[in-house]
Amino acid sequence: MKSLLTTVKSFVANLLLWSFFAGGLVASTASGAVLDGTAKTAATYTGIAVSLLAGSRIAKKPRIRAFLSKPSTLWFLFLFNGGVAALCYFSMDGVKGIATAAGMGLVSLGAAGGLLASRRGEANAA
């Protein structure tokens, strides 16, 4: 059994990690409502970087990793993000539409890669 100090340290670390992730998402999406010009751009890109770093650390946690590797989760990510990529490509104009579609498409392709890898693993095990 873990000691109380270890449990508290783990809780605080997880709380900070999730707070940085959420704060990065908020900074990257809501900075336009508060800031203009260079400050808006800096806050947006800093928020993106913070949320990506925190999200990648969160994704390495055993429970999250197990959830993200389930076939049902991978199918959802593949289909949903592929649909959103197509919708963004056709509904948004210019570079923003293409960049959004490319980002969502990459997530969809990553999920498809996870599906193929799990299928290969099942075939090799049999």
Q: Give the residue extent of every domain in the chain.
A: 1-61, 69-126
pLDDT per position as a tens digit, 51-63: 999 999 999 999 9
Neighbours of 52 (CB within 10 A): 13
User: pTM of whole model > 0.75?
Assistant: no
pLDDT per position as a tens digit, 66-75: 998 899 999 9
d(CA 57, CA 14) in angstroms, rounded, equals: 10
- Please give the chain's pLDDT, 126 residues, in tens: 678 989 999 999 999 999 999 999 999 888 878 888 888 889 889 999 999 999 999 999 999 999 988 999 999 999 999 999 999 999 998 888 899 999 999 999 999 999 999 888 777 776
